[in-house]
Chains A and B, each alone.
Chain A
Amino acid sequence: DGGITQSPKYLFRKEGQNVTLSCEQNLNHDAMYWYRQDPGQGLRLIYYSQIVNDFQKGDIAEGYSVSREKKESFPLTVTSAQKNPTAFYLCASRLGGLSNQPQHFGDGTRLSIL
């Protein structure tokens, strides 16, 4: 079945440590996105990529980095510069082109501080 796979499901970070969240899709979608969700809040866009080897900052990019070396993969690194990283992280992808295409989401990674 086609879909979006995020791993790991749970992740713990120590102070001063960088951690990387994985996102893989086999939907042949062009665009991929990373969102952060805090308890009781909506989704906030961190980074997005419409094409391989290109990506743009979203609304809350500080303390995060991404790469898009392959169409299928869009890993997110939470760096030590992100002082409040505890949140639920969601990856999404979209076919691209017309704006009426919906985004499809993975099951998320929950990041906590040790």
Chain B
Amino acid sequence: GNSVTQMEGPVTLSEEAFLTINCTYTATGYPSLFWYVQYPGEGLQLLLKATKADDKGSNKGFEATYRKETTSFHLEKGSVQVSDSAVYFCALSEAGNTDKLIFGTGTRLQVFP
């Protein structure tokens, strides 16, 4: 079945460091891919998305590129801030199936001043 695998956390960085959170997926067809962010005690917020191969989603300095050849959608940011501390979820929506998102287990990011 379809699945999403994320790197385990926590990821601990100093402010202004470069961030990469790895995400790989297994899916039939051509899924859409998403990154969500969850701040403590809150719901999930859509961070960015990509709907076809080689698409780059970007928002608030975060980027991720849909790589079909490596089945990956890694999240990157050039310079993190303390306010970026949160849990990040990678997810896929199966092509042709409007029902479900399949989520990774989440990666906690901790940024220290």
Contacts and interface: CB of A to CB of B under 8 A. Distances in A.
Interface stretch (B15-23, B77-85, B100-108): B100-108
Contact of B89 (A43, A50, A96, A98): A43
Interface residues of B, number: 26
Contact of A50 (B31, B43, B95, B98): B98
Of B94, B103, B104, B105, most A-chain CB atoms within 10 Å = B103
Interface stretch (A61-69, A79-87, A99-107): A99-107
A97 B98 contact: yes
Nearest to B29: A99
Interface of B: 31-32, 34, 36, 41-46, 49, 51, 89, 93-101, 103-106
13 contacts: A31-B99, A40-B106, A42-B89, A50-B99, A58-B100, A98-B98, A99-B97, A102-B46, A102-B49, A102-B93, A106-B43, A107-B42, A108-B42
